[in-house]
C-alpha cells in the first residue's frame, strides 16, 4: 500500500478532496506551481491557477491523472489563487466548488458543473452570492440536503468578515474572546447558491464553552471537512499555526460541535489540509506535506493513510 508516500509525483499537489463517485474514488486536489516565492502569513507564496482530477480505483496503485478540469483563465471573475476545492456527485451532476480571489482581491467561492468527474466542467460566470473566504467543503446528508462549510483565517480572510462586511484591518480576536468560527450554509436545490445566510460552526470544550481565540491547539484555522460516522457528524479542520488536524462531533449538522481530539500531528510543511472518506469498507485520511520539496511550504504533495475509529467513535491519532 502507498500509505504515507506521495501519491502524485509528476507535479506538486495539495488540499486533497477525496470523494466516491459511481463506485470509484476521485481526488480533487489543488495544484502548487513550481515557482520560487517568499512566504508570508497572507499566503501570497501559494501560486495556484488550475485544477486536475485523479481516479484511484485500486488503493495499492498510484492514482490516474484525468487531466486539467479548470483554469483561472476560463473563470471570468477570478484574478488569482485558486486554492483548496471540493466536489460532490448529486442528481447526476458533479458540482465542483473552488475558492479564488476576485478582481478586487477578495476570496469568493465559485461553482463549476460537469456530467462526470473528469469533466468537461462549465464554471458559473459569477461566484456564489454572498460567499467569502476559502476552503469549501460540500456535504450531502442522508436526506439528500447539501451544506457548504467554508472558511480560513489569516490569508483566507475569514477573520476580516467578523462584522458581516469585509474589514481589511480585521484579524483574530483577543485571546480571551471567542474564536473565529467556520461557516456553514444549506445549499439551494440547484447547488449553485446558498439557501440561507451562512451560520457559525461553534466548537465547544467538554464543558460546553466555546473555544477561545487563544486556544490555538484547538481553535478553527482553515480546512474544514464534514463527514458522518454512526449517525454522528464529524467536523474536522486544521489549527493552522499549531499545525494539527483535529475534530469535534455533534448530532446536529449545524452544531455546536464538541471538541474531541487530534487526528494528525504536525507534518513537514506549514499547512495541513485533509479529507476523510470511506471506500470499499475502509476509512482513509487524505492529507498533504512537503516531502517532495524537502520542506518548501508552497510545494506540497498529497498523501493518504488508513483511519481507525475506536468502539466509542473516537479517532485514533496518527503520527506522520
Q: Rounded distance, CA 203 to CA 222, Å?
A: 13
HSE toward the beta carbon, residue 164, CA cutoff 13 A: 3
Is residue 154 within 8 Å of 190, Cβ to Cβ? no
Q: Rounded distance, CA 27 to CA 64, Å?
A: 10
Q: Rounded distance, CA 155 to CA 279, Å?
A: 33
Is residue 169 within 8 Å of 161, Cβ to Cβ? no
Q: Which three cell numbers stand for residue 144?
A: 439528500
Which is catalytic among the residues 32, 86, 102, 222? Answer: 222
Question: Cα–Cα–Cα angle for 144, 146, 148, nearest 5°?
Answer: 165
Q: b/e for 97-131, b at 16 or more Cβ within 10 A?
A: bbbbbbeeebbbbbbbbbebbbbebebeeebbeeb
Active site (annotated) includes residue 312: no
Helix (H, G, I), strand (E, B) or coil at 133: coil
Q: What 8-state DSSP symbol labels residue 159?
A: G
Q: Rounded distance, CA 116 to CA 157, Å?
A: 32
Q: Rounded distance, CA 82 to CA 98, Å?
A: 7
Which is catalytic among the residues 15, 32, 86, 159? Answer: 15
Active site (annotated) includes residue 15: yes
How far apart, in Å, are the Cα atoms of 118 and each of 26, 48, 65, 73, 277?
A: 9, 19, 9, 19, 19
Q: Rounded distance, CA 178 to CA 193, Å?
A: 29
* Catalytic residue annotation: 15, 222
Amino acid at each position: 500500500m502507498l500509505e504515507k508516500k506521495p501519491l502524485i509525483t509528476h507535479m506538486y499537489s495539495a488540499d486533497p478532496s477525496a470523494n466516491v463517485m459511481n463506485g470509484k474514488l476521485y481526488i480533487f486536489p489543488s495544484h502548487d506551481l513550481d515557482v520560487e516565492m517568499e512566504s508570508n502569513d497572507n499566503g501570497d507564496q501559494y501560486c495556484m491557477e488550475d485544477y486536475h482530477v485523479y481516479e484511484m480505483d485500486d488503493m495499492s496503485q498510484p492514482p490516474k491523472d484525468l487531466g486539467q478540469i479548470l483554469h483561472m483563465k476560463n473563470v471570468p471573475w477570478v484574478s488569482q489563487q485558486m486554492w483548496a476545492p471540493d466536489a460532490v456527485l448529486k442528481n447526476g451532476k458533479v458540482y465542483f466548488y473552488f475558492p479564488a480571489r476576485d478582481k478586487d482581491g477578495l476570496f469568493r467561492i465559485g461553482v463549476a458543473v460537469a456530467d462526470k468527474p473528469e469533466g468537461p466542467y462549465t464554471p458559473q460566470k459569477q461566484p456564489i452570492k454572498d460567499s467569502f473566504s476559502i476552503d469549501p467543503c460540500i456535504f450531502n446528508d442522508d436526506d439528500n440536503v447539501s451544506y457548504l462549510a467554508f472558511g480560513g483565517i489569516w490569508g483566507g480572510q475569514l477573520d476580516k468578515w467578523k462584522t458581516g462586511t469585509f474589514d481589511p484591518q480585521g484579524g483574530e480576536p483577543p485571546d480571551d474572546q471567542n474564536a473565529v468560527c467556520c461557516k456553514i450554509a444549506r445549499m439551494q436545490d440547484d447547488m449553485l447558491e446558498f439557501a440561507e445566510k451562512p451560520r457559525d460552526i461553534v466548537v465547544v470544550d467538554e464543558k460546553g464553552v466555546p473555544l477561545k481565540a487563544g486556544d490555538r491547539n484547538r481553535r478553527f484555522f482553515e480546512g474544514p471537512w464534514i463527514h458522518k460516522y454512526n449517525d454522528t457528524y464529524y467536523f474536522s479542520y486544521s489549527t493552522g499555526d499549531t499545525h494539527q488536524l483535529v475534530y469535534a462531533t455533534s448530532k446536529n449538522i449545524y452544531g455546536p460541535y464538541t471538541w474531541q481530539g487530534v487526528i494528525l500531528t504536525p507534518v513537514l510543511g506549514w499547512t495541513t489540509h485533509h479529507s476523510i472518506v470511506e471506500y470499499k469498507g475502509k476509512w482513509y485520511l487524505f492529507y498533504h506535506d512537503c516531502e517532495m520539496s524537502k520542506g518548501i511550504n508552497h510545494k506540497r504533495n498529497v498523501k493518504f493513510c488508513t483511519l481507525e475509529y475506536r468502539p466509542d467513535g473516537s479517532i485514533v491519532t496518527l503520527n506522520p
